[in-house]
Structure 1
Amino acid sequence: MATNKEDTIKIFELNTLTYGTASAPYLATRCLVEVANENEQQFPEIARIICKDFYVDDLLTGTNSKEEAIDVIHKLSRILMSAGFRLCKWISNEPVILKDIPTEDQIPNCVDFENGSQTKTLGLMWQAHHDALVYALKNLPELKATKRRILSETTQIFDPLGLLGPYIIVAKM
């Protein structure tokens, strides 16, 4: 490609967050904190939710009533949308809370309240109908059980809340 030394230099600026880079989780979290700080005076509870209930780009929060949950959804969506964050993949253990959420912003075919379906949230399975966290088990291949194999399998268990700790420690011992 031929270049002309007489051409002016063009400057390009990336205006989106590129996931996969080392700084992406920090930048995403820092942007949310800034949005919370900007809205703290007018909406202190929503600012607290933004600061405390997000894990990178996943929000897990709760309220004491259905009406309060609906109010939080509307305020949170409006505040974050004003900063360019569109919330989607909504799910709740109470179907009435999601009635105002557009279908395209809900998790499709995920919550079947009749059949007790489940969704994955932060590495755990959640049965919304029963409001229960469920651990998915994998079938182990039938290999010889050695100390190394047992330790290898137990270290792969994702347990962020430590609920399986009493069981895992027995296997590790």
Structure 2
Amino acid sequence: MYGLKLAGDDGEEAFGIEAADFVRDNFYVDDGLQSLETVNEAKLLIKNSTSLCAKAGLKLHKFVSNRREVLESVPECDRASSVKTIDLNNDPLPIERVLGMLWDVNDDVFRYHLQLKNQPRTRRGFLSIVSSIFDPMGFLSPVILEGKKILQELCKSKIDWDDPIPENVQPIQCMD
């Protein structure tokens, strides 16, 4: 991350503030994410940020976009493997993993695939289920909040960790 921030600082004058800000502020581990208004803005950002990073000895690659025109502007060798082999004119765009979530590139939506392990109907089991939902953007917060409210009720009722959850507190039938 230090290298990216330094590259952004060093390349801002030559490649523009948009590319520098993208490189400095929009990388999360090794995923660079940016949403732009137009195809031309996206193409320019890719060109400038790739050049900025190249000057610093870093290679940006594995590009994905929900706009086919943007993908066509990226050399095939720099595209994500899932879009290297598809026909950009006919094939649907893939589902990509981004920040641990699923991004349906074709529909430009995030999707969730929850595989809840069968847990005992106890406070400990319920906590395990609620805690296993990975949602870094907070899109599932309303659902997770309901689970946390149930956990709070179990705590207030002084239900022990391994005691069965009372029937009146079990509105969740999807635990099976």
**TM-score bracket for the superposition, by shorter chain length:** 0.7 to 0.9
| CA RMSD of superposed structures (Å) | 2.0
Secondary structure of the residue aligned to 1:109 is helix
**Higher RCO by CA contacts (8 Å cutoff, separation 6 or greater):** 2
For 2:123 and 2:91, locate their aligned partners in 1 and report how far apart those are by CA, in whole Å: 43
Pair 1:169 & 2:145 matched: yes
String of CA shifts for 1:80-133, please: whole Å, max 9, x gaps. 011111111110001110113222321223596754631100011001111101
Worse-matched range after superposition: 31-40 or 102-111: 102-111
Partner of 1:92: 65
> Structure 1 length normalisation: TM-score?
0.75
Partner amino acid for 1:69?
A: A
Question: Quick check: which one's helix share is greater?
Answer: 2
Gaps of 5+ in 1: 1-28
* Closer, same or farther: CA 116–79 of 1 in aligned 2, 3 Å: closer
> Structure 2 length normalisation: TM-score?
0.74
Partner amino acid for 2:137?
A: L
Is contact 2:116–2:129 with CA below 8 Å preserved after alignment?
Answer: no
Is contact 2:20–2:52 with CA below 8 Å preserved after alignment?
Answer: no
How is 1:121-140 mapped onto 2 (pairs within 5 angstroms)? 121-140=98-117
For 1:106 and 1:146, locate their aligned partners in 2 and report how far apart those are by CA, in whole Å: 47
Partner amino acid for 2:62?
A: K
Partner of 2:128: 152
For 1:30 and 1:66, locate their aligned partners in 2 and report how far apart those are by CA, in whole Å: 29
Residue identity over aligned pairs, in percent, reads 28
The count of corresponding residues between Structure 1 and Structure 2 is 144
Secondary structure of the residue aligned to 2:35 is coil
Partner of 1:30: 2
Partner amino acid for 2:9?
A: N
For 1:96 and 1:162, locate their aligned partners in 2 and report how far apart those are by CA, in whole Å: 30
Is contact 1:110–1:119 with CA below 8 Å preserved after alignment?
Answer: no
Secondary structure of the residue aligned to 2:69 is helix
Alpha-carbon deviation of 1:40? 2.2
Secondary structure of the residue aligned to 2:103 is strand
